[in-house]
Amino acid sequence: DIVMTQTPLSSPVTLGQPASISCRSSQSLVHSDGNTYLSWLQQRPGQPPRLLIYKISNRFSGVPDRFSGSGAGTDFTLKISRVEAEDVGVYYCMQATQFPYSFGQGTKLEIK
């Protein structure tokens, strides 16, 4: 099974400042079809998860462009260029390259 490890687990950030979350997989996430099925999700307090980024770097519909994803193979990063108050919540990386699908432990983003 693929284990997803996120760092940090908690990230206090000042409003307007950047934030970065890392996600490392225990195996390469490159699928036999050539795609890398690594996604980032946001879960605001009391809400269901919401898709932000799919296939490493593609922003989902309606996601602000201050969110960006990068990486390859086993190392991936989610960046928020300027944190806003509405970005508070828990962020998860998820792999869907191999069954069983798996999630990182979650990174809690909070405002300093």
Partner 1 sequence: EVKLLESGGGLVQPGGSLRLSCAASGFTFNNYAMNWVRQAPGKGLEWVAVITMTGDGTNYADAVRGRFTISRDNPKNTLYLQMNSLRAEDTAVYYCTREPAGTCDIWGQGTMVTVSS
What residues line the site for partner 1 (CB under 8 A)? 31, 35, 37, 39, 41, 43, 48-51, 54-55, 60, 90, 92, 94, 96-97, 99-106
Q: Which is nearer to partner 1, 16 or 45 (CB)?
A: 45
CB of 103 to partner 1, least distance (A): 4
Q: Say whether 36 sits in a helix, a strand or coil.
A: strand
Establish how many alpha carbons lie within 13 A of residue 30's alpha carbon, considering only the half-sphere containing its beta carbon.
Answer: 7
With respect to partner 1, which residue has the nearer C-beta, 10 or 17? 10
Tokens 């990174």 correspond to: 107
